[in-house]
Amino acid sequence: MPTTDIYARIQELQRRRGASTPPTARTTPAVGRSAQEIAVTRENQGGTYGLVQRPLDQLWPGHQAALTAAERDRTGDQLLPEHPELRALVENFPRNCMFLDLETCGFAGSMVFLVGVIHEEGDRLLLSQLLARNYAEEHAMLRALWQIAGGNQVLASFNGKSFDWPCIHDRSTLHHIGAESRTGLIHCDLLHHARRRWKDRLPNCRLQTLERYVCGRRRSSDIPGSEIPMAYHDFVRSGNTRQLESILHHNALDLVTLVELAVRVARSEERGAGATVIQ
């Protein structure tokens, strides 16, 4: 069985892409752009939807330093993680792995209006944000997600087994997206693995708590999650894109943290210990 190094794979992707100077992920979203300027229009069997895409190296300014530090820590041959979900994640990252985070109009069963995915396209990791710019575009947006999912083997999420993935299935059924359009994925829910590592060392295992103590970052200019549904409804009603860009910003930060947590969780299992917690 090959010993797969998740860090080395990211580094190889970055070498192929070349060096760049990415903008900070903490930049306050711009004000006053039209929806057409924010998202390009795509079309499929379900209709039209909006698409926002950016390479990962524009969203994770510290990624190179994190990878370099990790390489210094590694000595000798590394074993694959024992847990089957993490092993599948490490074996398939990045070519066949999809990181997922949703924004919805409320609780489980409500409309999904934004699907954020980090996945490999060509020779780079890419953030694709599939956006329903109005309530009628959810159908096409979901079809676009299933198309991306069909090219991957592993789904990585945070609390996705309880919320995101059941929500995607329920909304797809509502739109009569049949089973033939769906795909089987190995689902690695990083919330469960984070709890195993850090539940006794942190106040809680919410995503932004892990982002602060494990990834060493604090957010600024971020819309609270509780305000997102109302902000989306306001966008649909008024066309005001200021809060829509805040939602896209929030979703992008969640996904960057999800990728970094995947790397850290997998590495800590390889080493047989909990990863560092930053006070």
The answer to the question of residue 134 being in a domain is: yes
The answer to the question of residue 27 being in a domain is: no
Residue 36 token pair: 């057409």
252-267 pLDDT, tens per residue?
999 999 998 988 887 7
**pLDDT at residue 29 greater than cutoff 60:** no
The answer to the question of residue 62 being in a domain is: yes
Q: Are strands 97-104 and 154-157 parallel, antiparallel or unpaired?
A: parallel
1-27 pLDDT, tens per residue?
444 455 555 555 545 544 333 334 443
SS3 150: coil
Separation of alpha carbons 8 and 16, rounded Å: 12
Among 9-13, 109-113, 119-123, the range scoring the smallest mean pLDDT is: 9-13
The answer to the question of residue 26 being in a domain is: no
Angle of helix 242-271 relative to helix 6-17, nearest 10 degrees, comes to 130
Among 2-6, 104-108, 118-122, 234-238, the range scoring the smallest mean pLDDT is: 2-6
The answer to the question of residue 156 being in a domain is: yes
**pLDDT at residue 174 greater than cutoff 90:** yes
Q: How many folded domains does the chain comprise?
A: 1
The answer to the question of residue 279 being in a domain is: no
CATH number for the domain that contains residue 36? 3.30.420.10
The answer to the question of residue 24 being in a domain is: no
The answer to the question of residue 276 being in a domain is: no
Q: Residue 202: which domain range?
A: 6-19+32-271
Q: Are strands 154-157 and 47-55 parallel, antiparallel or unpaired?
A: unpaired
